Amino acid sequence: MLAMKRFGVIFILSNLLFSLVVGCQPAFQPGTYTDDMGREVNISKVPERIVSYGSSITEILFALGLGEKVVGVDDFSDYPEAAKSKPKVGDAFSPSIEKLVGLEPDLVLTVKQEQLNTALDNLGVKFMVIDPTDIDGVYKNIELIGEITGVEGKASKLIDDMKKTAARVQSQVKSAPEVRVIFLIDTTDLNNPWTGGHGSFIDALITMAGGENIAAKAPAPWVQFSIEQIISADPEVIILPDKYVASPQVLKDHPAWQRTSAVKNNRIIIINGDLISRPGPRLVQGLEELAKIIHPELYK
């Protein structure tokens, strides 16, 4: 009899705890939400079939535990591992509209791409543009996706964790001397490589990691920087993504690049480019990796 009473008390307390936890979770609110193009989109119910046209969008969805609701992804969505097995719908610049329609999504999340966006509009497919221009925009996008999918609590925690990581890294490098850095995103022409200028995630992350982006004063987020400009700025560190660029040895063999401090001191470092180029949850991992590359003395 005593055991039954104890069981009853435990059962009641468990239900009470569950009710309190559930009660603390923000409920989904039907309404009109604004995307990154300023479009107002009515979301009347929690989406159950989502298609993602953007690898960073896919990463956000999975990070929020929404993988089971993702019914299709773009061809470049390869993280996390589970995203690779999702049906592919082309990419934002060459979408497979027939496959998309066949998946019967109730919401498409896409980057800003006029042709695709227009096609979705003409088909009457409900879509939202998720295309941030800075790190605060990434946080806002995660919050927005959390709100429209009914997982606002998870979104808040993810944002909080990201901000804590960013703050920790910035605190770590706060007193360190700035190091001149260039991040190469395309080395097809070694005399005029592409890099990230003012307004790019690359520029922002280098600065936050205690570096000085030598292309920070460039007039656009993505620019070609001449070899003369590079030699004049004399980068102390050259960072290469792990895809689509020349090998460090190619830079070492180039007569002009050999004149930079980075090549002389063998500070040509390869990084997982997805951590820097995808404006999603792993951006702060990219920030931490950059800090370790730029200021290895702080991470011994």
What per-residue confidence (pLDDT) applies to 27?
75
All CATH 3.40.50.1980 domain ranges of the chain, comma separated, are 31-150, 175-299
pTM given for the model: 0.89
What per-residue confidence (pLDDT) applies to 106?
96
What per-residue confidence (pLDDT) applies to 9?
45
Using alpha carbons, select from 123, 150, 120, 185 the residue that is nearest to residue 47.
150
CA-to-CA distance for 149 and 65, rounded, in angstroms? 10
What per-residue confidence (pLDDT) applies to 80?
97
CA-to-CA distance for 251 and 247, rounded, in angstroms? 7
What per-residue confidence (pLDDT) applies to 236?
98
Asked whether the predicted pLDDT for residue 251 surpasses 80, the reply is: yes
Asked whether the predicted pLDDT for residue 16 surpasses 80, the reply is: no
- pLDDT, tens digit, 9 for 90 and up, residues 119-158: 999 999 999 999 999 999 999 999 999 999 999 999 999 9
CB within 8 Å of 150: residues ≥ 6 apart: 27, 28, 46
- pLDDT, tens digit, 9 for 90 and up, residues 168-212: 999 999 999 999 999 999 999 999 999 999 999 999 999 999 999
Percent of the chain scoring above 90 in pLDDT = 89
Q: Show the tokens assigned to 242.
A: 């792990």
| Fold for the domain defined by 31-150 | Rossmann fold (3.40.50)
Segment 76-82 shows an average pLDDT of 97
Q: Which amino acid is it at 111?
A: V
18 pLDDT band, cuts 50/70/90, is: very low
CA-to-CA distance for 37 and 118, rounded, in angstroms? 13
88-95 long-range CB contacts below 8 Å, 24 or more apart?
89/51, 89/53, 91/53, 92/53, 92/54, 92/116, 95/53, 95/119
Q: Checking DSSP bridges between strand 194-196 and strand 222-224, what pairing results, if any?
A: antiparallel
26 pLDDT band, cuts 50/70/90, is: low
Helix runs in 25-63, H state only: 55-63
Asked whether the predicted pLDDT for residue 54 surpasses 60, the reply is: yes
DSSP state of 279: -
Asked whether the predicted pLDDT for residue 244 surpasses 50, the reply is: yes
Contact 120, 113 (CB under 8 A): no
What per-residue confidence (pLDDT) applies to 25?
54
Domain boundaries 175-299, corresponding CATH code = 3.40.50.1980
